Structure 1
Amino acid sequence: MTNQVFANNREVSCKSAAGKSICAFPDVCFTPPLTPATPPGVPIPYPNTGMASDTSNGSTSVKISGKEVMLKDKSYFKRSMGDEAGCAPKKGVITSRNMGKVFFTAWSMDVKIEGENVVRMMDLTTHNHGSNPGNTGPWPYLDEVAMPGIGALCGPDKDREEKACEGCKPKGNKPACPPYSPPKPPASTATSMAADQATKMDALAAIKKAKRSSAQQKELESIREKVYKATPEYEQFKADHKKYFEDMAKATESDAYKCARARRCMLVPFKSKDKQQQCCEGQTGHHLIEASAFLEPGTRGKGDVPREQFKNSKYDINKAPCICAEGQNNTAASHGLMHTYQGVRAEKIAVKGEWTLKQATDTAGQATKMVFPNSDCSPGCISAQLKAYHEQEGVGVKPGEKIPASPSGKLDDETAKNAWKDLDQRAAEAEQLAKNRSSNR
């Protein structure tokens, strides 16, 4: 189409574009009836959508396909839709409007028209404005990305996500995240010890060991007393865990779980501009290209000082693409597994602590497939999304450029090592088969 003009590999928003900011949620508006119990009406959250074709107050001298271009702060979509029923006199709980304007809250930092920054696909918007602020939280504007093959690579994953999430938020009312209520850890140190060792027998073995020396008799009594006290707490902990896993088993059949599983393939920024976490509760955004590759060691969260190699790069740790993984740190659950599988690979193929961006993105794609087999993410799609961010102008990493590998996780994990060994073997067999076929022609 003639309106396909890109900034930083992302299509520029303009009146002639087909882009949309779809179903920003929640747009809470007061809705009839007005009753004594709810005098202003019933506050109901609506999904709200804005269209690029409603662009207003855009550029005047520079146009795309003969129509105006959206500009930072100055331009807006003149109306939105989806909250029409929220028409009680108060309307929006914040803006007192419904069907209000849509404004962008993010834009290109280095591409300008008429002196103003242009806005692009995946830049954030807020909806149903009267003035500032809007009546919704930030929501991405979606159009096209200038990445050769990304549509074909990610098309099946995107189709699967749309099917799995049909009826889920933000497009519907069903939750898009499964329930998260892990059992609380036991209160006492002794109980925690018993839980970590998975059985009280290990704790009792400590008593037996202490008997070997009369000098350790006091320690024996101390351990015995702690274990005795820990027993009921530990039994409760086991019961809570049993119920938790039973609940999780049920949750895996829920629409929310299926949606969250499919959405895992669509990478998200680590944080939005207003620090709104985009992963489900209990999950953490895992940088598939480690942030430590771009930051001086020890400076993450302490100034985020860029390495000398990237001192002129506009890499942003909060905007860099992440996969939603379970676990609050890099050693727990699937978050820890991603570090392990990527770390094991990095340690093997990185040379003097460095590897190319292509090696890093390929590793991320394959590790995702290994750690999350039920999500069935295409490694090519994961890699393409990572390249779209890291190779864009401003961040500016070249495909063959060497970056620090920063391996982490359990680097001696035999399961991870065997998984990569099996993958390499299958790749070698496929390469040999291709050579044989070529020589037989």
Structure 2
Amino acid sequence: MSNEVYANTMEVSCKQAAGKSVAAFPDVCMTPPQTPATPPGVPIPYPNTGMASDTTDGSSSVKISGQEVMLKNKSCFKKSSGDEAGSAPMKGVVTHKITGKVFFSMWSMDVKFEGENVVRHLDMTTHNHGSTPPNALPTVYQDMLAALPPECAKEKAEFESKCSSATVQGNKVKNCTDDCKKAQKCILVPKKLDKKFCCGEDTDTEERTGDHLVEVSSFTQPGGRGGLSGMGVTRAVIASTGADISSPLSKSIPLDAQFAGYDQFAAPTVCVGKDHSDPLHHKLQSLRDKAKRRRRNACRGQALDSWGPDPASDHSYATLGESIEDGAWAHKQAFPQCEKACTEKQLEAYHVDEAGIPPETPVRTATVLS
């Protein structure tokens, strides 16, 4: 189930969550038969999976949905699965365990329960512990996948199936198959997590990035990404819009107070190439511009709202709901394997439910007016 308790915009891991850390690989265990040629057995790599429902040693007084919460260096998933066949006496080649515990190796730096840091969706885990180090390589906790809307059931299953062998190495996601990259396009990820989620290339010179389907410029003042460059805007002016000036992630200046809940780094994105030289990245931008021109023409040049005199950069010709629809349409054109209804629901979950912007709100429609 989705428990909808978040730390740093990521869902907190707890015993009641439906999350899991899927297929940490390789978990190398010694496996029968034990023969004269291989007395300890045969070393075979297994995928190892841990479940949030196996949480133990969690919080005692602070609960989510009535159950304990995972805490830094204290809690764990008490067991894992997938390596049961590695039952020769040596078992795991590092820990000499199978079905061992799962521990988190990352957590929130500033959100604590009972004095301990909480762990979240997409924090790193290590598997099959009997001691330190673990027997399996780190994997990424996939709790948020469990909170995807029902419209995304097909996309969720496809991602879990096709991306089970992907691994995170620093800020690179490697071992992605072509099928995994294709499935990944349907799952939107907060911008600040794109380097932990988007598949990287085989070389260390390539990067992947998250592209906002509903553009940052829809909610922020013009003048650089997030509205800071060249504007001479003081912190007092920023605060007057309702923006949180204490957060290091609050680098956007909202158009006005109704957009104060918007954070470009928490907003959902789709994985594409690192800049507009990437054909799919360029295609998405072109499709969004086409949709914005269509909205302007439908308004016959009469703006729904405006934040300045320039019709090319200061006016609104679409509501948030229409911009979500257009972003999902552009996404479907670029990635036909993804259902438009799934994309729309993911966009609504952030912009409407989390950022608190009503769908009928006019948003800025910056585009080339040709």
Q: TM-score, normalization: structure 2?
A: 0.63
Q: How has the CA–CA distance of structure 1 residues 407 and 131 changed in structure 2, closer, same or farther, with 3 Å as cutoff?
A: farther
Contact 1:286 1:323 in 2 (8 A): yes
Distance 1:44 1:64, change over 3 A: same
Taking a change above 3 Å as real, the CA distance of residues 265 and 144 of structure 1, as seen in their structure-2 partners, is closer
The answer to whether the Cα contact below 8 Å between 1:105 and 1:123 also exists between their aligned partners in 2 is no
- Residues 1:27 and 2:26 are matched in the alignment: yes
Partner of 1:323: 270
Could you say what secondary structure the match of 1:364 adopts? helix
Q: In structure 1, how many angstroms separate the alpha carbons of the residues matched to 2:109 and 2:353?
A: 12
Letter in 2 for 1:364: G
Pairing 1:399–2:359 present: yes
Distance 1:361 1:38, change over 3 A: farther
Q: Distance between the aligned counterparts of 2:189 and 2:220, measured in 1?
A: 18
Asked whether the 8 Å contact 1:107–1:123 carries over to 2, the reply is: no
Does 1:279 pair with 2:199? yes
Aligned residue for 1:306? Answer: 251
Match of 2:48 in 1: 48
> Could you tell me how far apart the structure 1 residues matched to 2:278 and 2:332 are?
18
Q: What is the CA–CA distance in structure 2 between the aligned matches of 1:297 and 1:86, rounded to whole Å?
A: 59
Distance 2:221 2:39 in 1: 54
Equivalent of 2:164 in 163, 170, 175: 170
Indicate the larger mover: 72-81 or 127-136: 127-136
Q: Counterparts of 2:96 and 2:188 in 1: how far apart (Å)?
A: 34
Quote the offset at 1:313 in angstroms: 5.1
Could you give the per-residue CA deviations for residues 80-112 of structure 1, whole angstroms, max 9, x where no partner exists?
22234567859366x776534323456678976
Q: Is 1:103 the counterpart of 2:103 in the alignment?
A: yes
Query: Residue 282 of structure 2 aligns with which residue?
Result: 336
- The equivalent of 1:139 in structure 2 is 140
The match for 1:289 among 196, 203, 214 is 214
CA displacement at 1:345 relative to structure 2: 1.8
| Residue aligning to 2:59 | 59
- Aligned residue type for 2:52: A
Comparing both structures, which one devotes a greater share of its residues to helix?
Answer: 1
Quick one: distance in 1 between partners of 2:56 and 2:262? 30
SS in 1 for 2:70: coil
Q: How does 1:60-99 map to 2 (within 5 A)?
A: 60-63=60-63, 67-85=67-85, 91=92, 98-99=98-99
Unaligned runs of 5+ in 1: 179-255, 413-441
Structure 1 length normalisation: TM-score? 0.54
Higher-Rg member (1/2): 1
Q: Which moved more, 1:288-297 or 1:15-24?
A: 288-297
**Is 1:267 paired with 2:227?**
no
How far apart are residue 22 of structure 1 and its match? 2.3
Distance 1:100 1:284, change over 3 A: same
C-alpha displacement of 1:144: 7.3
Q: Deviations over 1:12-64 (max 9, x none)?
A: 5433444322223x2343546899x9999977543221112221111212445
Contact 2:328/2:340, CA 8 A, preserved across alignment? yes
Contact 2:18 2:143 in 1 (8 A): no
- Read off the aligned partner of 2:185 and give its amino acid letter: R
- Offset at residue 361 of structure 1 (A): 1.6
- Matched residue type, 2:142: Y
Percentage identity across aligned positions?
40
Cα shift readout 1:313-352 (whole Å, capped 9, x = no counterpart): 58363x5432234x44214322211010012222443643
| In structure 1, C-alpha distance between the alignment counterparts of 2:41 and 2:367, rounded to whole Å | 56
Contact 1:86 1:92 in 2 (8 A): no
Contact 1:299 1:305 in 2 (8 A): no
- Contact residue 31 and residue 44 of structure 2 kept, 8 A: no
Q: Offset of 1:154 from its aligned partner?
A: 1.9
* Deviation readout 1:360-380 (Å, 9 max, x if unpaired): 22111111122233x1x2222
Letter in 2 for 1:50: G
Change (3 A) 1:362 1:103: farther
Deviation at 1:262, TM superposition (A): 4.1
Superposed, 1:172-187 pairs within 5 Å as: 177-178=177-178
For residues 402 and 134 of structure 1, the distance between their equivalents in structure 2, rounded to whole angstroms, comes to: 53
| Mapping 1:221-236, distance limit 5 Å | none
The answer to whether the 8 A contact 1:127-1:135 is kept is yes
Equivalent position of 2:328 in the other structure: 365
Q: Summarize deviations over 1:199-227 as a string: whole Å, max 9, x none.
A: xxxxxxxxxxxxxxxxxxxxxxxxxxxxx
- Separation of aligned partners in 1, 2:39 and 2:132: 25
Q: Distance in 2 between matches of 1:56 and 1:338?
A: 44
- Counterpart of 2:215, as a letter, is E
Question: Which structure features the higher share of strand residues?
Answer: 2
Against the structure 1 CA distance between its residues 380 and 103, is the aligned structure 2 distance closer, same or farther, given a 3 Å change threshold? same
Contiguous gaps of at least 5 residues in structure 2: 167-174, 230-247, 297-302, 304-313
Aligned residues: 310
Give the direction of change, closer, same or farther, for the CA distance of 1:363–1:65 in structure 2 (3 Å limit).
closer
Contact 1:285/1:322 (8 A) holds in 2: yes
* Aligned partners of 2:29 and 2:98 also within 8 Å: no
2:366 and 2:100 mapped to 1: Cα distance?
Answer: 47
Structure 1 pair 31/286, CA: closer, same or farther in 2 (3 Å)?
farther
